A and B are shown apart, each in its own frame.
Chain A
């Protein structure tokens, strides 16, 4: 199992694609930070939530960047890595040779999903760290003072957060965002076992996320939306903008775990009995 994890990790990382992804993960936060900087120079108190607070302290910048990238860049990257995991091997024909080793298909799938998960976590951490460095350079290392908070649960009193508190909230937010891709990894792994073409699996995985976001925007769907994998995506933001940890956080974790169990089980059942014709 350890051997499989190691070999799958090397296969996933040692390629030009990794460098391109890394460049995007470092480049985009810098661009966003510069944009926030440009905007805050002109209109110091416009914008909302994290972006408004970002000009107060560089420690809020990575949070703002995480919120943005978790809806787009990180989704694409996670979809690419996970969609490619099995289908990419099938497309090159390497999968059948891998399965000629006496390895269990379940273990192989676990190794591939674990490697995908690890890479998504690393990607999230890179975004947060780059944002932190860029933010502190541009806006400094301060606490924040929020005179009057507005959250999903309504208006509240003002509060202060020290730099240390902010850093802790940021670490928490990063972990929550990273964990928030668990459902996507499971869904993508399942799709990746279904097809022998990586691009199809990648597109389907990213597509699920986009559709989920669109459905989540349709308020008429009511409580159905609470079951969408992206519904609680930004539940962590309140810990910084409203100094509150809402029950949505727990719900978000539960939704992720349920999706992961369902789709990963489906992937294993399917992959174990799949005829390898690629």
Chain B
């Protein structure tokens, strides 16, 4: 891709004492993308996002917004709407006063902000004049969305935006993200919940224990490492065809079906190859969904890490 990245981290590392919360992480978000930052709890998602908005200084590496290196309070933040962890406000002030003071603290007048649009999206009605102290977490989260939309941002950074919400609220927030993305904003959304990323995002960056594990489009990730069951008329011929494909790992015959390990590439590529070779394909099923891929990836990276730790000082084994 040639378009300039809206947000980019490059070899980003952050250590808290001896713990590396983020390690050598690189990825980019480009215009129009809805990018998911996926990883289990403690993977370093929040730490990454905090560095991206200048709340935390990186130990090494860089975070850039709109091509400029991020620092605390940098002007590029005006073009970003961010929610880091849960939405939080001054509890003893009303939702409206919170929005106004937050906006005015940056030096603007409230009528320059997209207040009507923001309030419409928050959908709080008269409750916006109540003290935030009286809000439910869902209401706070919606007011949080209103706040980050005031500046008509070009990039949204959302850190587990549906955490702690009930299913109806989750659905609402998801629709909201879709609507915003449709209006052309790029989105970087962190989640430990795969289904959320799958439903919301076009791109995904998977991280585990502070490191990048995989990245690409959701489709690419879904097909990578998947197991596909294919029902065909001529199993032997089909197995031969599939084994010759570079994208295919192991092929086994299991009853009426072939069990195919897919390294990369798409299921449709397999079907195309079989059809070209004159094999009739009855059915194709992917037995692993993204959840398995995700867990597998995270698992692999952990195993790799522990085995590396165990082998330190015994480099001769690495040749195998």
Contact = CB atoms under 8 A, between A and B. Distances in A.
Interface of A: 3-4, 6-8, 10-11, 14-16, 89, 92-94, 96-105, 272-273, 275-277
Contacts, number: 88
Nearest to B14: A275
Contact of B88 (A7, A8, A11, A94): A94
Interface string B76-97: 1110101011111111110001
B57 A275 contact: yes
B55 A105 contact: no
A231 B84 CA distance: 45
10 contacts: A3-B107, A7-B105, A8-B105, A89-B90, A92-B90, A93-B86, A96-B50, A97-B102, A101-B105, A104-B72
A273 B57 contact: yes
Contacts of A11: 90, 93, 101
Interface of B: 50, 53-57, 72-78, 80, 82, 84-93, 97, 101-102, 104-107, 147
A275 B53 CA distance: 12
A11 B50 CA distance: 25
A96 B93 contact: no
Interface of B is mostly: loop
Contacts of A277: 50, 55-56
Contacts of A275: 50, 55-57
B284 to A, nearest CB: 47
B89 A3 contact: no
B74 A14 contact: no
B86 A94 contact: no
A102 B73 contact: yes
Given A93-B86, A94-B88, A97-B87, 5 more contacts: A15-B92, A93-B88, A102-B75, A102-B78, A103-B73
B77 A100 contact: yes
Given A3-B105, A6-B104, A10-B101, A99 B72 contact: yes
A98 B50 contact: no
B106 to A, nearest CB: 4
B63 to A, nearest CB: 14
B105 A100 contact: no
A146 B219 CA distance: 93
A14 B57 CA distance: 33
B73 A105 contact: yes
Contacts of B107: 3, 103
A4 B77 CA distance: 17
B98 to A, nearest CB: 8
A98 B55 contact: no
Contacts of B78: 102
Contacts of A103: 73, 105-107
A7 B101 CA distance: 6
Q: Lowest 10 CB-CB distances: which A-B pairs, in order?
A: A93-B88, A101-B106, A276-B55, A15-B92, A275-B56, A7-B101, A7-B105, A102-B77, A102-B75, A3-B107
A275 B93 CA distance: 26
A6 B106 CA distance: 11
A100 B74 CA distance: 9
B56 A276 contact: yes
A176 B82 CA distance: 45
B314 to A, nearest CB: 37
A92 B88 contact: yes
A90 B136 CA distance: 20
A102 B106 contact: yes
A98 B93 contact: no
Nearest to A2: B107
A11 B72 CA distance: 22
B93 A14 contact: yes
